[in-house]
Structure 1
Amino acid sequence: MSIFPADIEEQAKRIIADFSARKLMVATAESCTGGLIAGALTEISGSSAVVDRSFVTYTNQAKTDMLGVTEGTLAAFGAVSKETALQMVHGALYRSRASLAVAVTGIAGPGGGSAEKPVGLVHLAAKARAGKLIHREMRYGDIGRDEVRLATVRTALDMLVETARE
């Protein structure tokens, strides 16, 4: 029995099987999910052939130290922004052996939101080393911390699949 909901477990199983067959490796750069994306993937037997590494960068300093997000980006746009998500995904690829990476940064709640950046706002980026780059701004709403985090995992897994399409 998985610690994740059945739909996430099934998506992770499909990714591990497909990426393993295609010899694709993944890196994750996670803020608001705190490692749940990597956790969902590594829940699956055989994931060591696919998951290279995960960066859990909860603080701005961690984003800078581990992923190379610039202090200028954080000052100008904030941790929860398209710009930060894009720098996170680039940093994860640059600092790993992965062929693709996904990065997430957002406000899971219950606090921390504002009118401009409400609870439930998450920026996700996925990039293939070969070049395909996608960004999504999701506004899941104030649906509860656990649900925002799980919704983010679902979107991130979908984006990995989309990025891996040739």
Structure 2
Amino acid sequence: MTGDEDAAGSTPHPLSARVGETLRERDATVAVAESCTGGLVGARVTAVPGASDYFEQGVVAYAYGAKEQRLGVNREALDEHGAVSAPVARQMARGVRDTADATWGVATTGVAGPSGGTPETPVGTVYVAVAYAAPWGSHESFATATRHEFDGDRATVRERTVDAALDALLDAIADVGD
């Protein structure tokens, strides 16, 4: 078995390996909060050998109550914007970052389909959020959320969401490092 293989002998996804290398280089940690991806982001990150160096935890919070209880998403945001929204995605990312005491929080929420979409939020609509915990007193902590609209079946939407989440994390880490 080479250093690029997991215990089953398969090679981790290159994007996950880059995330791991980048977090290790920065001595940073990550926690993930997932709704529509149901744990796929955490699974992809932890497929890299040695992920325990930088992966703190993953929370799958599918229902409104789980988002509120496990991640601190406020009821008003859920009522006003719905679970598939930028404000809720940002609160999810902040909540998992803070409860895990991680450097970075990543969140996914969306409509993977095949049903559940609306004219305003069609199937394939996903929000990916990234939250950064800057050093105390620096006033540089932040949370961002981006909207994506992916075509394809449920599996495709979920896989593209994982890629978008990991890309967003890498972009945010690069921005902080600049």
Pairwise TM-score range, normalised by the shorter structure: over 0.9
Q: Which residue of 2 aligns with 1:95?
A: 99
Structure 1 unaligned residues grouped into runs of 5+: none
1:155 maps to 2:164: yes
For residues 52-95 of structure 1, what are the alpha-carbon distances to aligned partners after superposition, in whole Å with 9 as ceiling and x for unaligned?
00111011100000001111111111010111101111111110
Match of 1:72? 76
1:39 shift after superposition: 0.3
Tell me by how many angstroms 1:31 deviates.
0.2
Distance in 2 (alpha carbons) for counterparts of 1:68 and 1:127: 14
Q: Partner of 1:121 in structure 2?
A: 125
Paired residue total? 163
Check whether the contact 1:133–1:163 (CA below 8 A) recurs between aligned residues: no
Query: Counterpart of 1:135?
Result: 145
Q: Identity of paired residues, percent?
A: 35
Q: State the one-letter code of the partner of 1:103.
A: A
**What amino acid sits opposite 2:116 in the alignment?**
G
**Mapping of residues 21-32 of structure 1, within 5 Å:** 21-32=25-36
Task: Specify the structure having the higher radius of gyration (Cα).
Answer: 2
- Residue 16 of structure 1 corresponds to which residue in structure 2? 20
Task: Report SS of the residue matched to 1:75.
Answer: helix
Equivalent position SS for 2:42: helix
Match of 2:50 among 46, 54, 68: 46
Give the superposed CA RMSD. Answer: 1.8
Shift of 1:21: 2.5
What's the offset of the Cα at 1:133? 3.0
Q: Whole-Å Cα distance in 2 between the matches of residues 67 and 18 of structure 1?
A: 25
